[in-house]
Structure 1
């Protein structure tokens, strides 16, 4: 990654320029058997579409707050980078009543209804599938995002020193996210593009976000993000580590 990168969106742009075809996020849900692999280019395309949805359809502006009521999932990673691309604050497991937009998985819909602004629901089904019946009061992400543009440019340049992430009530700027991810990479065992970390940590702590997204992104590595990893037996985990060429495990 480039030393001049100041925001998570910058990190993604550098990854795209360096090697768009390499894997970035490989996602497993061990409750459903789902596996999805996203290259840097595919992930960046989802981010661009989601950022366009935020900026053009939902009319959010830099400094607005988006409550992300989502588990560790590849689509959650997309939303985190889309928020960073627009310059809005991603409030992980934040209070939807204090947010401009609430983005919810199927398990948090009732909580998300407290948001006075727009509400987006993610079915979190395999291959980004839509809800069989859209939840009342919500737009279905899988319906709204495909028609968005494949390229994104913010109307206002993102300020690296502006708030970008709220985690457990603590606020981080975009620059702080990048700096911490880089500084803690060695602690995680991430040393560069050859590093591939398997993370079974949830996204509701800095440790989970660092291992499951920001650390690999900051070092040019990749992540095998596993939801419901506790359902996987020891032999199966060993096989996954081998087949996915994992170099580091965080769980």
Structure 2
């Protein structure tokens, strides 16, 4: 049996495209951004179209994502997987930045990747506004992807590694096991403060809930005193910390 791309598998789990798929909170900045499955799919599609049509990336090409937990990070990861790219995270085994097809990072981290040909900066702005006054050779990701189509026709099957050397089938199997271990089922509303900074964390804390058909409520810089009230407000059925 063929294996779909990881992103195709995630969106195949969607029951109602109008319902929230990812809600992002940052207790430091006060941001709250809610994305329906349709909206998250649009951003992932724009990202995939950009990677493929503008950068010429495809199966096996490495895309490094060095970003904090954020809704834009989720969209970029999903877009890269849809394009068939091999997502790398900082500190991954055998990572050679000079061989990357592209790197997406934040403005305060660009000095780490001066040997990458295609260096992109994600604004992490609540409204996806662009970043101004970037150095020559550094591309503002939000501005670049905005002009691309919000629908994407992915390859029928995944080929090559998906995340730090792990194949798509392995990632899907691991994510489903993680969702089962956490009691996540279709329609659950999962409030989480867990990080996405390693391959295992991305699989268990981001991919697993989405692949299970849950609605993910991700909280960055969580204020412990506010979490109980937030759980009630968001009607969370599962809290993971």
Q: TM-score, normalised by structure 1?
A: 0.87
Structure 2 residue 237 is matched with structure 1 residue 247? yes
In structure 2, distance between residues paired with 1:200 and 1:107: 23
Equivalent residue in structure 2 for 1:164, among 162, 172, 179: 162
Partner of 2:5: 7
Structure 1, unaligned runs of 5 or more: none
Is residue 44 from structure 1 mapped to residue 41 from structure 2 by the alignment? yes
Provide the aligned C-alpha RMSD in A: 2.0
Greater Cα shift, 140-149 or 125-134 = 125-134
Spell out the pairing of 1:95-106 with structure 2 (5 A cutoff): 95=95, 96-106=97-107
Give deviations 1:16-68, integer Å, cap 9, x for gaps: 5x311111100011221111000000000001100000000111121100011
| Residues paired across the two proteins, number | 237
| Deviation of the 1:182 alpha carbon | 1.0
Report how far residue 12 of structure 1 moved: 3.2
Q: Deviations over 1:170-228 (max 9, x none)?
A: x21111111111122121120222x1222222212245323432111221101111111
Question: What aligned pairs does 1:87-236 form with structure 2 within 5 A after superposition?
Answer: 87-93=84-90, 95=95, 96-115=97-116, 117-154=117-154, 157=155, 159-160=157-158, 162-166=160-164, 171-193=165-187, 195-229=188-222, 232-234=223-225, 236=226
Distance in 1 of aligned mates of 2:156 and 2:114: 29
SS at match of 1:127: coil
Structure 2 unaligned regions, length at least 5: none
Q: Quick one: structure 1 residues 208 and 73, their matched pair in 2 at CA, closer, same or farther if it must change by over 3 Å?
A: same
CA distance in 1, matches of 2:234, 2:3: 28
Whose relative contact order is higher, 1 or 2, with alpha carbons under 8 Å and at least 6 apart?
2
Offset, 1:242: 0.7
Aligned to 2:22: 25
**CA distance in structure 1 between the partners assigned to 2:184 and 2:119 by the alignment:** 36
Matches within 5 A, 1:61-100: 61-93=58-90, 95=95, 96-100=97-101
